[in-house]
Chain A
Amino acid sequence: MNGITQSTALWYASRATGVVSLLLLTAVVLLGVLVNRQGRLPGLPRFVVTGLHRNLSLLGVAFVAIHVITAILDPYVTIRIVAIVIPFASAYKAFWIGLGAISLDVVLALILTSLARARMSRRLWRSLHWLSYLAWVSALVHSLGSSNDLHSGLLLYMAIACTLAVIAAVAWRVTHAGRDIPREERAAATLAMMSPARAPRTRGTPRGDAGPRVQGGSVPRGSAPGDRAPENVR
């Protein structure tokens, strides 16, 4: 491999941002599975998982944009501008570049629908979000096929690690699908976790995001009037 010269700078930039994009995309998929399973990252509040998932996806788009623009501008290969979004329209490695275009299209659709999520049907948003797995797979195959970079050395190990991580996450998601706490009991489960039965209060111990310690039962539970039948109304 030769050193970076002016004429090869764009080519190297494209390859490097491609690698970073793949890493970010993988992280976004892993975090997405974690968001879906209501999981959390060790030592961090739950909303951080959602926040990271969203923000890394936006960062990923920025890297993909540089990856695509540098590839177009690079004189070494001829990729038409339409090939960015239209699959298999590239003169250079039509199939492998086409997979990248599919991935880009899907990622853009996911980002746009997520930004407009409050204004659209939740079911539609959810079904579109299933395409994220397709985007990741086509991005990986695109990476492996369109460049030799991932075929050896550290980058090969990186590609294997990404693949194993996503496979593991999907396996975890599938096997844990049926182990949810039923919806009706979730709030009660959280409350029980928050108020460990009448434990004597200890002061001054550090506390993470698990919330304040509470003195169980310091407040009376349900009260006398209860649920009145209409005949009790004066």
Chain B
Amino acid sequence: MTYGTTVPYPAPYPGPQDSYPGHPGPAGTGTEAPGRDLPRLLPVHRAVPVDLRTHLSRYGAPPYLGSPGKLIPVLKAAGLTGRGGAAFPVYRKLQAVADARTRPVVIGNGAEGEPASDKDKSLLWISPHLVLDGLQLAAEAVGSQAVALYVHRNARLQERLRAAVAERAAAQIDLAPVEIIDAPPRFLAGEESALAARISGQPAMPRFKPPRVFEQGVVGRPTLVHNVETLAHMGLIARYGPAWFRSAGTRDEPGSMLCTLHQSDGGRDVVETELGTPLRDLLRLDGTQAVLSGGYHGAWLPAADAARMTLSNEDLQAAGAFVGAGVLVALPADRCGIAETARVARYLALESAGQCGPCFNGLPRIAAALDEVASPRPDPRAVTDMIRWAGLVEGRGACHHPDGTTRFVRSALHVFREEIRNHSAGRCVDPGRQPFLPLPADAALDAADWS
């Protein structure tokens, strides 16, 4: 299916617009909120990106509150957490930036450097105005006039977003002008401090914290960075209130989130689901040996364990994984988990910004050792070397790239221990080595810069 086809408006949408006509009441009341029906962010007929006219007929104009700070308690009551992976409470970042003495910068983060994740691109493509509403409301909440959207390098996507921004400017529904800024296609480009560096005109490389980005970010000003999905939720919470948001999800982890699902048959899809959904309802687990949760900084889980878990940090963190940005991969039984992890570890090593010794010396060593373990009759010392090096790189980077990479590798050593024994005996479940986990091509990586 391509998005070039034209479908008559309005596209059918079973969400808010049916039960929620016209402009919303004051934010936080939630009185006229629609049901808990999902999806909230993506229309069912996703073939049609939502244009401004359709968006306004469904949701009305963004419900501005008139002065900074008012949205923050609403977001606190809703319990919204960041959807970029860290699941940090959204209101706390907003509060910190709103309390700053200098005027802040607000950035929507749509860099999505994770090769296995499509949800931010999909959201920006299909529902750009939900994101842009959230961006305006966030800017109002912290009293900012400097607003930008930092977006994955894709000409068509950026062109569409520029058009959407222009459309809104013409309709005069924005409080602050929005600039679209190109994110270099690197794994770390969306890391907060890398983002701040890029927007300040430097290469998109992470720097040491503190100072945190919300204290000193873009050109030294306090900077509010939120994932684009977080902003979209924000736009809906401002309209329908915290109770509506909490009608989906669990008590501790309320709401819904976008997930990129990779099925064992190779199918790849973006879905919106409630937190607390059983993983077996998202992934078809028969014929699956293991599930990767949290993307390439996440962790592998044996399929049998995953079948008992729900999409929640409460369940997943107990097993060393986490929800992250909602990447879930079902690895088919006939693929080699070690070889797959080795391919990704090599990619992650090459994505080191080359700033911190433990990262640019350690990760390539770990990747090479894992490559050794993936080969027939590997050197038996490779695994112990790897574990030793992993201990030496963890917690020693400016960002969490070393920590995320070792979490991913360590989980593979544990979950695929049977396969490691196979390799020692000279066998492999997949001698043909068909690649499964998505990675950018080497050529694209070599060509890509950091700015």
Contacts and interface: CB of A to CB of B under 8 A. Distances in A.
Contacts of A203: 379
A46 to B, nearest CB: 6
Interface residues of B, number: 71
Nearest to B341: A219
Interface magnitude class on chain A: 35 or more
Contacts of B351: 187
A11 to B, nearest CB: 44
A212 B352 CA distance: 21
B365 A194 contact: yes
Given A191-B368, A224-B435, A229-B154, A212 B381 contact: yes
Interface stretch (B118-126, B224-232, B284-292, B318-326): B118-126
A220 B433 contact: yes
A42 interface: no
Interface string B202-213: 000101101100
A185 B157 CA distance: 29
Nearest to B348: A187
Contacts of B13: none
A195 B345 CA distance: 14
A219 B437 contact: no
Interface string B278-310: 000000000000000000000000000000000
B369 A214 contact: yes
Chain A facing B: main interface SS: loop
B363 to A, nearest CB: 6
Closest 9 CB pairs of A and B: A223-B435, A186-B354, A183-B354, A122-B208, A194-B368, A191-B364, A230-B125, A190-B364, A225-B438
B141 interface: no
Interface string A195-234: 1000000010001000111110011111111111111011
A153 interface: no
A214 B375 contact: yes
A229 B360 CA distance: 29
A213 B379 contact: yes
A188 interface: yes
Contacts of B368: 191, 194-195, 211-212, 214
25 contacts: A47-B358, A121-B208, A187-B351, A187-B360, A191-B349, A191-B368, A194-B368, A211-B368, A211-B369, A211-B389, A212-B369, A212-B378, A213-B372, A213-B379, A219-B374, A219-B375, A222-B442, A223-B436, A225-B439, A226-B438, A227-B440, A228-B121, A230-B118, A230-B156, A234-B269
